[in-house]
Structure 1
Amino acid sequence: MQEASAINKEHDKPPQITRGFWLTALLILMFIANPLTAFAYFTSPDVIVSVHPKATIGIVYFFGVMSTINFAIAVGIWCWKKWAVYGMYLSVAIAFVINIYLGVGILGALFGLVGGLVIFLTTRNRWQWFN
């Protein structure tokens, strides 16, 4: 009888919440890259404008703000927040549009969507853990 009780207790345990390798790797990359990118955008906007002639100082500062927001989004995803996943989708969509405007080219702009795709693929089977 004790054995049956032990088996039932095993089934009553909630599933172990795990991020998985790819989600963890992307979030750690975001924790490192976004502050560095924001720093570069805020401290050297003229360098970025010289590389992308269609870019204005305002767009460069906007990208700096977006990098800062993306850091907060990464923290939110780490903490299992749905708003952060939706924020990631919005962020990559905005970056895609601006990259097309800047003349990065369709392939370069599509490369910017990879983060959103990885977030989608790595969170869809874990969605029940997000609140």
Structure 2
Amino acid sequence: MYIQKTGLTICDHDRATPGYRIFSTFGLPEVRVINMAGKVVHSWELPYEPGNYGYLLPNGNMLSACRTPDGPKGLPAKGGLIQEWDWDGNVVWEFQDDMQHHDFRRCKNGNTLYVRW
């Protein structure tokens, strides 16, 4: 028997950095923000399964990559679509490249860098 645990099981508040946590779960097209108690305070529904992670930007928007079904097959850590979402669930910026690897960053000057196969 396999038991899958979900949610926040233990939080050592003395050792944890205060603030929110943003995460995605493989297989689900969603990114969630939780507070220190493990309560979901916000989430975004994505068009595809997310990549490894997303970022909360200084303006409150979320930057995330998705694994698109297009492009070459069999690449590990494939992305394909990087999107910036506002708090209301609207896509305010996106860039598609079927050869996008999983890693990406938003620069201080507003540009977005990503790794490509």
Does TM-score exceed 0.5, indicating one fold?
A: no
Structure having the larger proportion of residues in strand: 2
Q: TM-score, normalised by structure 2?
A: 0.24
Q: Which has the higher contact order (CA 8 A, sep 6+)?
A: 1
Q: TM-score, normalised by structure 1?
A: 0.23
Structure having the larger proportion of residues in helix: 1
Larger CA Rg, structure 1 vs 2: 1
